[in-house]
Amino acid sequence: MTWAVRLNPGSLLTAYGRGLEKTVQALREGRRAQTRGLSAFPHAPSTNVVSTLDPAEFTASLSGVRRGLHAIAQAALAGLTSQRAWLLTGTSGVLFLGACAGDSGAWIGCDGDITDDLARDLGLTAAPLTLSTACSSTANALLLAGQAVAEQRYPCALVVGFEAISHIVLEGFESLMLLDDGGCRPFDRDRDGLHLGEGIAAQGLERAPAGTRQRGAILLGGAHVCAAWGPAAQAPDADAMYAVMAEALRAAEREPRDIVAIKAHGLGSVASDRAEAQALRRLYPSLPPVTSLKGGLGHTLAASGVLETAAFVACLEAGFIPPTAGFAHADPTLGVHPIGMPLSAQEGCYQLNFFGFGASYVSLVVAWRP
């Protein structure tokens, strides 16, 4: 049985700026928000391409993270009909930020403390939950929140994701040779990896009224598959990607023919895009339009689930499916040609993929009606 959980518009702080409008306009234009190096860490020698937050909007410190979180979460919470929300958060790289920036106190392992502080500041009394499943963290949070709200365990839920890049995280990805010096180019013939992005995003979920064809975005269901079977088995798994997408459609009681378009994970790495392309072609006899947001926003790691969902839904509300920033040349070996221009948003169902390092994969199915 589908969930029929409404996804509220949400609130964003991305490399494009504060608020949904700035991100939506930049995604419509296919604009890339990129710089080199980290202004918060001028001593770090890295010159990698990154999509960072405006220092005028966000301070890379413990206090800065907390201020930014509160502002974005409060804006999303205000859009819910009930203030008795269950709070779920996700992060990863921000754990290392304090030590790098010289904040007092230990940061390692304190993401749960940040969540507890946020719940208290917002006046939310339900025990909050922090998820850390790599890049699928807040996608898993949306999955858990949708199920809890659909089962009426909570009247509503608030999912918050936050990532700020430290030089430890940046150099870690560089050491793994996962970064593209030209920035992420999803499914492109010349792709060579990802580039990291920063962001804070929050999205509210609540039950849609029964028996109505409500306008906006409705989370119908989704699925999670963990295909990790050993510390050395970290290669992208096309079979698991196919399985999670197929299970998400079953959970939402939809068929491949019902999907209007796909927001792919679109990491930009040679292996990940190849595996996702194989899974997409296997599931969809006739592939609908495909797009990826990471060429513009960067890969916001644990925050990407809620950040990309909120951004994608906001684009639909603005009347378009966003193009794939960074894509220029089709790879004939993939059989996937992502859209390069905005397409008109259509009423129907959309599939959203989020694939985490270590093979924690999530796929969501969202219905949208203008």
Q: DSSP secondary structure string, 178-198?
A: -B-TT---TTBTT---B-EE-
List, for residues 62-86, the tens digit of each pLDDT value.
778 889 999 999 999 999 999 899 9
Q: In this predicted structure, what is the pLDDT of residue 94?
A: 65
Mean of pLDDT values over 103-119: 67
List, for residues 161-198, the tens digit of each pLDDT value.
999 887 778 888 888 899 999 999 999 999 999 999 99
Task: Report d(CA 252, CA 246) in Å as an integer.
Answer: 10
The conformation of residue 286, written as its DSSP 8-state character, comes to: S
Question: Is the Cα torsion angle 8, 13, 14, 16 positive or negative in sign?
Answer: positive
Task: Report d(CA 239, CA 283) in Å as an integer.
Answer: 11
Instruction: Say which residue the tokens 């009423």 belong to.
Output: 347
Residue pair 90/130 in contact by the 8 Å Cβ criterion: yes
| Three-state secondary structure call for residue 207 | strand
Mean of pLDDT values over 332-337: 97
Q: What pairing do the DSSP bridges indicate for beta strands 290-291 and 259-263?
A: parallel
CA distances from 161 to 63, 221, 275 (A): 16, 20, 26
Residue pair 155/202 in contact by the 8 Å Cβ criterion: no
Q: Which amino acid is at 138?
A: T
CA distances from 293 to 78, 100, 129, 255, 305 (A): 26, 28, 27, 24, 11
User: Considering only CA atoms, which of 268, 271, 259 is closest in space to residue 363?
Assistant: 259
CA angle 22, 146, 160 (to 5 degrees): 40
CA angle 285, 192, 52 (to 5 degrees): 105
Element (H, E) at 329: none
Give the chain's domain count: 1
Put residue 305 in one of left, alpha, beta given phi > 0 → left and psi -120 to 50 → alpha. alpha
Instruction: Say which residue the tokens 């949708």 belong to.
Output: 146
Question: What confidence tier does 97 reach under pLDDT thresholds 50, 70, 90?
Answer: low
What does residue 318 show for φ and ψ, rounded to 5 degrees?
-85, 0
Q: Which amino acid is at 228?
A: A
Helices and strands (H, E) in the chain, number of each type:
10, 17
The CATH number assigned to the domain holding 9 equals 3.40.47.10
Percent of the chain with pLDDT over 90: 75
Q: In this predicted structure, what is the pLDDT of residue 114?
A: 87
| Three-state secondary structure call for residue 73 | helix
Task: Cite the DSSP H helix spans in the chain.
Answer: 20-29, 62-77, 97-101, 111-122, 137-150, 167-175, 238-251, 270-283, 294-297, 304-317
Q: In this predicted structure, what is the pLDDT of residue 190?
A: 97
List, for residues 226-242, the tens digit of each pLDDT value.
987 655 456 799 999 99
Residue pair 262/312 in contact by the 8 Å Cβ criterion: no
Instruction: Say which residue the tokens 């700026």 belong to.
Output: 17
Range of the domain at 68: 1-370
Instruction: Say which residue the tokens 């939506």 belong to.
Output: 24
